[in-house]
Every structure is written in C-alpha cells, then in structure tokens.
Amino acid sequence: MTDQTPTPPTPENPLRLGTRASPLAMAQAHMAAAALCAAHGLPEAAIVIDAVQTVGDKVLDRPLAEIGGKALWTKELDGALIEGRIDFAVHSMKDVETELAPGIRLAAVLERADPRDRLVGAARLQDLPAGAVVGTSSPRRTAQLLNRRPDLKVEVLRGNVQTRLKAIAEGRAAATFLAAAGLDRLGIAEGTLLTLEDWLPAASQGIVGMTCRADDARTRALLAAVNHAPSMAWLEAERAVLEGLGGSCHTSVAVHAAGGATLVLKAELLSPDGRDRVDAAISGPALDARGLGLALADRLLAQATPAIRESLEPVVRAGA
C-alpha cells in the first residue's frame, strides 16, 4: 500500500468520522462523507459518523475566550483521533486554533462556501436604534460593530444557530451576526449579507476542514482526494495572519483571501472596544500563501496602536 493507492474503506471496515453534535456540525460531516464517497466510489456505509459533545457546546453562558478558547471545540475530537477512536475529524476551520495539537494534521478542505457574515434582526447596521443590544460572543464581531456603531451595546450570545435565532425572535437582543455559510448549509434564509468591502469575516470562515493523525498515511491519502486547492491556499494565508499576530480567540482580527494563482489578502485589526482600527492588504503568489499572511501580519503590527498591541498575545506585544 502507498499514499497514492490507499486501501479503500468498506462497510465492514469503515472510516470513522468524528464531529461535534450540533445540527450545523452534523450537516458539514455529511457533506464531507458524501464528498469522500463520491471521490472514491464508496457506499454510504463505508463512512461512520461519530458525534462528540465538546466542552464548547456545553458551556454557553460565557465568552469562549474566558473558558479556554477554540480548543474547547476541538479537544475531545483531537483526543479521539490520537486514541484511535476515530480516523478523521470534520471542523469549521474558523473554530480551529491556529496551531494544531501535536500529532494532528490538516489533510484536506472542501471548497469554500460564502465567507461573509449575515446581520440578523435588522436590514442594515444603520437601522438599529441607538442603545440597541446586539448579541455576540465574538471579539472580532464585537470590535467591528463598536467601530461602526459605538452607540450600540453588546451582550454575550452563544449557542448553536437555532439558539441564537430564537434569542432574536424572542427579543432578547435586537440583532446578531451569523456566518452565511452556516445558514446556507442549514437551509436557513435569514439576515442581510454584509459585503466584504464593509465587513471582513473571520479567518477561514466558510471552510470545512478534515484533520487526521499525522502518522496515518492511508487516511491522509483518502482525504487528499477531496482537497480543494484554492480554498486550502486561502486558508493558509488567512491563518498565517493569525499566526503572525499571535492570534487567539481574544484577538479582534478580520481577514479574507481571494484569487487563484495570485492571492489578494486583506485584513483589519482592532482594539477590543473598536475605537482603534488598522487595515492592510497584500498580493502575491498562492504558492507562498503562508508567507503572504505573515507579511500582512507584519504590516498590521507596524500600524498597531498601543491599545491594539495590548490586546495581542504577550510575545507579539514584546516585539518578538
């Protein structure tokens, strides 16, 4: 057996796919399974989906940054991979930490869906009345909102898509933001699309990724067959911006990459209260996606105000 000709899974010896248990995560898991079955001519039963309840799904009353960050979405799945209980895991890549856990590798990504945010509860940001409450737990969205509308109030709103939509319907907040890709995958036509010109998304938003054990050559080869190379380049560039900033779930950074052989990468970095904001852009070969992202991070840091630098990781604030 070689990486080029992996032994295909069968219903008797299936690939085990791990995912979070939310409706959106399950929809994305079925997307990944369907893509693999189509690529390798497999019966549906050759891939078994194992839903895992993560800490991030259980603790909903506090911002993610206060209870351990993005690792709370992935820790249980990483553990299941390392222990051999699953063969690969499916993730929304915007929820995956910039540095993967030891022994874990990103093997493939599906073609990117709409990367934009939707505003739910109002047709436009300008239409929200002064003092209105907007629900979100995202530092990025909070800072972007307060930068555009400093008169609004932000309250923590977490939970799956359905939970957050219910909060708006019940009037617990006037509006919220949701990823267009997630709503589209669930068949939910809610909210107004925010343009990329006015409102950049989170790094990797709209991209579904598949991770596996770094030493599992067979699974890596099977997953590689469904990798969408342009989306992988966009992801590498955007995640490199986070890497260069020492980005964590606390960081208020928005970034988007587009293009083919030549990438165009844009980003904005904000202070947590939205008062300070710097923007930068760069273009270059997709083959150097990571290098472009790191270079763009340097440009942002060169412009960063004291308030912005104070919000970043200590290693960045120290200029290391």
What pLDDT band is residue 192 in, cutting at 50, 70 and 90? Answer: very high
Same structural domain for residues 150 and 83?
A: no
Residue whose C-alpha is closest to residue 234's, from 109, 48, 141, 123: 109
Cα 314 from Cα 34, distance rounded (Å): 43
Do 222 and 134 share a structural domain?
no
The H or E element that residue 146 is part of is helix 139-148
Q: Are residues 218 and 249 in the same domain?
A: no
Euclidean distance between CA atoms 56 and 207, whole angstroms: 19
pLDDT digits (tens, 9 = 90+) for 154-176: 999 988 899 999 999 999 999 99
Using the predicted structure, report yes or no on whether residue 60 has a pLDDT greater than 60. no
Return the CATH number at 73. 3.40.190.10
Is 1 contained in some domain? no
Say if residue 103 is in the same domain as residue 214.
Answer: yes
In a domain, 200, yes or no: no
Is there a catalytic annotation at residue 57?
no
Q: Return the pLDDT at 316.
A: 43
Same domain, 130 and 95: no
Same domain for 187 and 140:
yes
On whether residue 42 sits in a domain, the answer given is yes
295 in a domain, yes or no? yes
Question: What's the CA gap between 36 and 47, in Å, rounded?
Answer: 9
Structure confidence at residue 101 as a pLDDT band (50, 70, 90): very high
**Whether residue 151 is found in the same domain as residue 97:** no
Give me the number of domains the chain comprises: 3
Whether residue 95 is found in the same domain as residue 136: no
Find out whether 134 and 173 touch, Cβ atoms under 8 Å. Answer: yes
**Residues 161 and 217 both lie in one domain:** no
Predicted confidence (pLDDT) at residue 315 exceeds the cutoff of 50? no
User: Does 95 share its domain with 213?
Assistant: yes
Question: Does residue 175 sit within a domain?
Answer: yes
Compute the distance between CA of residue 71 and CA of residue 261 in angstroms, rounded to an integer: 32
Q: What is the pLDDT of residue 158?
A: 83
Please write the tens of the pLDDT for every residue from 275-306. Answer: 999 999 999 999 999 999 999 999 999 999 99
Same domain, 168 and 100: no
Q: How far is CA 131 from the centre of its chain?
A: 29
User: Is residue 317 in some structural domain?
Assistant: no
Strands in 64-207 per DSSP E: 88-92, 104-109, 117-120, 133-135, 153-155, 175-179, 192-193
Question: Could you list the residue range(s) of the whole structural domain that residue 57 is in?
Answer: 15-111+207-227
- In angstroms, rounded to a whole number, what is the distance separating the alpha carbons of residues 248 and 242? 7
The reply to whether 52 falls in a domain is yes
Per-residue burial over 269-284, b = 16 or more CB atoms within 10 Å of its CB, e = otherwise: bbbbebebbbebebeb
Q: What is the mean pLDDT of the chain?
A: 91
The active-site residue out of 78, 87, 95, 216 is 95
Q: Which of 29-43, 126-140, 236-250 comes out lowest in average pLDDT?
A: 236-250
Angle at 1 between CA 210 and CA 89, to 5 degrees: 15
Global pTM value: 0.90
Indicate whether 171 and 218 sit together in one domain: no
List Cα–Cα distances, 177 to 113, 192, 259, 268, in angstroms.
17, 9, 26, 18
Using alpha carbons, select from 200, 205, 196 the residue that is nearest to residue 94: 205
**Residue 150, class by beta-carbon neighbours within 10 Å (0-12 exposed, 13-18 middle, 19+ buried)?**
exposed
Q: How confident is the model at residue 148 (pLDDT cuts 50, 70, 90)?
A: very high
Confidence at residue 122, expressed as pLDDT on a 0 to 100 scale: 96
Residue 275 belongs to some domain of the structure: yes
What pLDDT does residue 319 have?
Answer: 39
Give φ, ψ of 188 to 5 degrees.
Answer: -105, 115
CATH number at residue 276: 3.30.160.40
| Token digits of residue 236 | 């590498």
